[in-house]
Amino acid sequence: MATDFLHRSSSRHCSDHGWLKSYHTFSYAEYYHPDRMNFGALRVLNDDIVAGGQGFGNHPHENMEIICIPLAGALVQTDKSGSSCVISEGEVQVISAGTGISHSEMNRNSDQDLKFLNIWMYPKIMNAIPKYEKMSLNESDRLNCFQTIVSPTEEGQGMSVYQDAWVHLSKIEKGVDINYKLRKKDNGVYAFIVSGMLKVRDTLLSARDGIGFCGNKIVSFKAETDTEMVLLEVPLSQYK
């Protein structure tokens, strides 16, 4: 099993703006690391904590697939037309920015922190018509298995992106082994541990660690404690 990346939680860059604390696995904004630009089509994996009542003012995106996974609290997005969307814990959202969007993102609650994962992927189709999708999740659908939340547009599992990529959530009970089988040849697999501890071959991973593999048709995971994980399968070769 070839390991291309091992990102310990402690090695991530932390941008602390007072109202926002953001942990970057890959280069982002003022943080630049030449060896941490991306993992194939996976460009950004930010672990964000936003103070009550605070958030990001209006800002643009284009030609990026953006996945929002709230871990605690609720996020309000408002576009330039004034239309709003609330994404809460237990829901996920995908934005295909395409030709361009602009929006603000705020913590809906004034009395608690918002915690969410902000994941960006390069699209394979450029300048597509922008689209938003949101879905509610059933936690039991990922117990000791992989719950698909994102897949290519033509597949119809979860929400769609303009990329040959899949995103899954998993909640694994202590002592359970699960295997992930690659959907597309030559793709890579990146796993991010949200909570708990698990072992991938001889590598023990803890909360907020990330690990990436290439050249493997099947990747096996064993939970050392009850564990929650985000797993991404993404193209590699054209995004080196």
Q: Concatenated DSSP letters for 120-187?
A: EE--SSTTPPPEEEEEE--GGGGBTS-EEEEEETTT-SSEEESSS-EEEEEEE-TT-EEEEE-SSTTE
Model confidence at 137: pLDDT above 50: yes
Same domain, 60 and 86: yes
59 shares a domain with 95: yes
CATH number of the domain residue 107 falls in: 2.60.120.10
| Helix, strand, coil content of the chain in percent (nearest 5) | 5, 55, 40
* Rounded mean pLDDT, 127-148: 97
CB atoms under 10 Å from CB of 224, counted, come to: 15
Task: Quote the mean pLDDT of the chain.
Answer: 95
Say if residue 21's pLDDT is above 50.
Answer: yes
In single-letter form, the type of residue at position 39 comes to F
Q: Average pLDDT for residues 220-238, to the nearest whole number?
A: 96
* 31 and 88 part of one domain: yes
Two tokens at 165? Answer: 């990529």
Select from 79, 105, 136 the last residue of a domain: 136
- Percentage of the chain with pLDDT > 70? 99
Is pLDDT at 212 greater than 80 in this prediction? yes
Do 92 and 120 share a domain, yes or no? yes
Q: Establish if 196 belongs to a structural domain.
A: yes
Contact predicate 37/7, CB 8 Å: no
Q: Which of 121, 136, 151 is the last residue of a domain?
A: 136
Q: What is the mean pLDDT of residues 99-127?
A: 97
Whether residues 201 and 131 fall in one domain: no
Position 96 scores a pLDDT of: 97
Q: Tell me the mean pLDDT in the region 137-158.
A: 93
> Which residue, of 136, 156, 183, is where some domain finishes?
136
Residue 4 lies in a domain: no
Residues 100 and 149 in one domain: no
Please give the single-letter amino acid code of residue 77: Q
The number of distinct structural domains making up the chain is: 2
- Predicted confidence (pLDDT) at residue 1 exceeds the cutoff of 60: no
pTM above 0.85, yes or no: yes
Is the model's pLDDT at 151 over the cut of 50? yes
pLDDT at position 4 over 90: no
> Is position 222 within any domain?
yes
In a domain, 157, yes or no: yes
Q: State residue 34's pLDDT score.
A: 95
Question: Quick check: 145 pLDDT over 60?
Answer: yes
Residues 132 and 16 in one domain: yes
The answer to whether residues 114 and 36 belong to one domain is yes
Same domain, 99 and 117: yes
Q: Which of 17-31, 33-47, 66-80, 147-161 has the lowest mean pLDDT?
A: 147-161
Please determine, for residue 155, whether its predicted confidence score (pLDDT) is greater than 80: no
**Quick check: is 2 in a domain?**
no
The residue range of the domain holding 46 is: 12-136
- For residue range 96-107, what is the model confidence (pLDDT) as tens digits? 999 999 999 999
Co-location of 157 and 219 in the same domain: yes
pLDDT digits (tens, 9 = 90+) for 35-89: 999 999 999 999 999 999 999 999 999 999 999 999 999 999 998 888 899 999 9
